[in-house]
């Protein structure tokens, strides 16, 4: 079954990032796991807050135990919104994936005196030791991936920009990281799965890179457990001609799903191992990614839309399926609309949209109420990810059925995708 990994940067980010832990009981869903970042968990950044708690991570036996221990610590140190019933039971997150945070590690090296390939190589084994100690299920092997977003100050850092362009365009440098990883995996009996990142600038270059990874495995005598397709998170920036995007698929609502699904098909034809989609798990076209063979995906869009801009800009996902996996709305299914518009839009939600709206309006008055509004909005999107995955599992003809939803626009888009991909 496909698994979707929600992302959270515990140990870094803004002041509301780790408060996700306070509400983590909401996210105990069968098809939703948690993606965390090595860079933040190991406090390589200047911590924004909660330093004492995150520093204790390695005193926990597993990442799951840490989440539950931290939840108790945060419960003691601050109030959860009074209207939220926080259980005393341990939270069970269904799967943990560890991302490597290489981009931030490179920046740290520059700021600390300079980057070298040898210095980066020395980080590989501690990364996998950490993944093993904390019982992560999957770790994404070290790579230099294209950045689509930069933190404050990074866009002005010419040295970082120049180095990053060099690292991400030189295939040999990335392949060397993969070979070193394989050598470390060969000498250590790790239980966690390790996925090799695959990069490219068009279909052929992705396939070529995949073949290079297979060659590296043969040279070292060790194999990766799966593959992770990266560098395609921002489809709007990808050239239609280079990617041979058909005219019918160049529509904004269709392009991303077509491209990711087509690329997944290309790679899945060449391997029986799991294929993860990094940062491009768009819920609108999730069924087509599943049909293409993707075993898992992640995407940060739902959190960004719920947390960026407060009440004036926050957006909530219009659901497609209810708890019984029946179609819910007649229009705008799986679109994000402003919370304030959703209140008066007449859409069916399985969360209390009036309550969420009131919580958002507590911004600057009651920080916990405001944050609870954000997390409930985010939760409602994760519920849909879980339900869509279950719907696809329970209905072998799910694409045909989704082409006949009550939402005319949604159905039309799906018929175009079906004609192009199936």
In the block, residue with structure tokens 């399985």: 350
Question: The whole model's pTM is what?
Answer: 0.93
What is the rounded average pLDDT of the residues 276-283?
A: 92
- From the CA atom positions of the chain, what is the Rg in Å? 21
Mean pLDDT, all residues of the chain: 89
Residues, the chain: 422
High-pLDDT (> 90) share of the chain, %: 63
Rounded to 5°, angle at Cα 222 from 218 and 224: 105
Provide the pLDDT for residue 51.
66
The string of pLDDT tens digits covering residues 182-201 is 999 999 999 999 999 998 88
What's the pLDDT at 77? 72
Give the per-residue pLDDT at 49: 54
Asked whether 384 and 334 are in contact (CB, 8 A), the reply is yes
Q: Could you tell me where the beta strands, DSSP code E, fall in 218-352?
A: 226-229, 275-277, 296-298, 315-317, 336-338
User: 3-state DSSP call for residue 244?
Assistant: coil
pLDDT tens for 157-183 read 677 777 777 777 778 888 999 999 999
Answer whether residue 209 shows pLDDT above 80: yes
pLDDT of residue 22: 87
If you average pLDDT over residues 370-392, what whole number do you get? 96
pLDDT at 198: 94
């Amino acid at each position: 079954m496909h698994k979707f990994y929600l992302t959270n940067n515990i140990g870094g980010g803004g002041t509301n990032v780790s408060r996700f832990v306070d509400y983590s009981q909401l996210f105990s869903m069968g098809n939703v796991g948690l993606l965390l970042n090595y860079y933040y968990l190991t406090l390589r950044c200047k911590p924004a807050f909660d330093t004492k708690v995150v520093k204790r991570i390695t005193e926990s036996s597993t990442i799951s135990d840490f989440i539950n221990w931290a939840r108790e610590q945060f419960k003691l140190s601050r109030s959860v919104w009074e209207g939220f019933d926080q259980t005393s039971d341990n939270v069970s997150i269904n799967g943990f994936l560890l991302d490597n945070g290489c981009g931030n590690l490179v920046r740290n090296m520059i700021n600390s005196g300079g980057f070298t390939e040898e210095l980066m190589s020395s980080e590989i084994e501690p990364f996998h030791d950490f993944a093993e100690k904390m019982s992560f299920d999957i770790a994404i092997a070290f790579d230099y991936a294209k950045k689509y977003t930069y933190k404050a100050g990074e866009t002005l850092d010419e040295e970082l920009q120049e180095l990053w362009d060099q690292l991400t365009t030189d295939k040999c440098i990335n392949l060397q990281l993969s070979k070193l990883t394989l050598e470390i995996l060969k000498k250590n009996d790790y239980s966690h799965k390790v996925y090799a990142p695959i990069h490219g600038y068009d279909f052929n270059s992705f396939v070529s890179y995949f073949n290079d990874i297979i060659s590296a495995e043969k040279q070292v005598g060790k194999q990766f457990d799966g593959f992770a397709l990266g560098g395609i998170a921002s489809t709007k920036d990808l050239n239609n001609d280079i990617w041979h995007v058909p005219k019918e698929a160049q529509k904004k609502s269709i392009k991303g799903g077509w491209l990711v699904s087509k690329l997944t098909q290309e790679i899945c034809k060449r391997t029986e191992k799991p294929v993860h989609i990094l940062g491009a798990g768009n819920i609108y076209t999730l069924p087509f990614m599943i049909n293409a063979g993707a075993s898992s995906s992640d995407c940060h869009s739902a959190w960004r839309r719920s947390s960026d801009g407060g009440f004036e800009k926050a957006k909530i996902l219009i659901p497609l399926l209810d708890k019984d996996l029946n179609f819910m709305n007649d229009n705008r299914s799986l679109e994000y609309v402003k919370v304030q518009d959703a209140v008066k839009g007449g859409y069916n939600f399985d969360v209390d949209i009036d309550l969420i709206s009131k919580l958002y309006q507590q911004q600057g008055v009651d920080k916990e109420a405001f944050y609870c509004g954000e997390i409930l909005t985010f939760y409602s999107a994760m519920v849909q990810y879980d339900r869509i995955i279950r719907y696809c599992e329970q209905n072998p003809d799910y694409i045909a059925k989704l082409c006949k939803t009550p939402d005319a626009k949604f159905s039309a888009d799906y018929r175009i995708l079906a004609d192009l991909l199936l």
